Amino acid sequence: MMNIHKIKTLGELNAVELVNPLWQAQIMSHLKLTKNHIGFLINFNVTMIKNGIRRYSLE
């Protein structure tokens, strides 16, 4: 038997020097309200984009 899961993600995009803790709380609130499990906060104001990606999870 094959299990197929839908994957939903939530993303917040910014281009700032410092990530505001309010945005982190906002992502967690959005995850709870939408019943999604994974969210990303992506900051484009970095030299390497991998340094600007933060993953949030309810699990």
Sequential pLDDT tens for the chain (59 residues)? 555 556 666 677 778 888 888 888 988 998 899 888 888 888 888 899 899 888 989 87
Beta-ladder partners of 41: 12, 54
Q: pTM for this one? A: 0.71
Length of the chain, please?
59
From 55, 14, 6, 12, select the one nearest 35 (Cα to Cα): 6
Q: What is the pLDDT of residue 48?
A: 92
The half-sphere exposure of 45 on its side-chain side, counting CA atoms within 13 A, is: 7
Beta-ladder partners of 9: 38
